[in-house]
Amino acid sequence: LINKVIYLDAGHGGPDSGALYKTTYEKDINLRIVKKLESKLKEQGASVFLTRDGDYDLSVPYTINRKRSDLSRRSHMINRSNCDIYLSIHLNADTTTTYHGAQVFYDSKKKENKKIATLIQTDLKQYLYTKRDAKQKNDMYLFHRLDRPGVLVEVGYISNPNDRYLLKQDTYQDKVAKILTDSVIKYFYQK
């Protein structure tokens, strides 16, 4: 991955916890996975940048719409970097506890997005045993503002007891980071 620039976005942060279950917050798990992923990608020679490296959001102080401000600043950072690829890491949640598994979402405005999403989802299916397929989702605010190739990866459901247990485990977070690193390597190798 030498000469490749990769931007990693740990979803949520600060007052925005994202999805939660009791004292388990999406923002914290996202950041832990992103930091592990950053380390693995750097070991492969990539230049890696993070939208956040601590527990904060990126909104402008005293803004009326904090969430929109946060997403605008994230997209601005990614676009300005001229990165080769970005990955936005999140956890999914639902009102039912039966939904589980990792899933990749992509915007169809760039052909590369589907290619990245399909590669990652294939690896997630093989190594995390999820049955989900990559899904086109053109209505995400972040996607509308990004002009770099990339995807949003929901690495599991915080609302599912088994997923939640696994997502809190350091070894599982390492496994997710390794799968994503290997997928990124495959993407650039096939490009």
**Total tally of structural domains belonging to the chain:** 1
* pLDDT over 90 (residue 62): no
Measure CA 89 to chain center.
2
Q: Which residue has the tokens 């990539």?
A: 46
Average pLDDT, the chain: 96
Q: What is the pLDDT of residue 139?
A: 86
Distance, in Å, from the CA atom of 47 to the CA atom of 1, rounded to the nearest integer, reads 8
Q: What pLDDT score was predicted for residue 63?
A: 84
- pLDDT exceeds cutoff 90 at 77: yes
User: How far, rounded to the nearest angstrom, does the alpha carbon of residue 13 sit from its chain's CA centroid?
Assistant: 13
Per-residue pLDDT band for 111 (boundaries 50, 70, 90) equals very high
Cβ 109 vs Cβ 138: under 8 Å: yes
pTM of the model: 0.96
Query: Which CATH number covers residue 152?
Result: 3.40.630.40
Q: Stretch 74-84: mean pLDDT, rounded?
A: 96
Which domain covers residue 16, as residue numbers?
5-190
> What is the per-residue pLDDT across 80-108, written as a single tens digit (0 to 9) for each?
999 999 999 999 999 999 999 999 999 99
pLDDT at position 61 is 84
Helix axes 170-190, 111-128, angle to 10 degrees: 140
Rounded mean pLDDT of 153-177? 98
Is the predicted pLDDT of residue 116 greater than 90, yes or no? yes
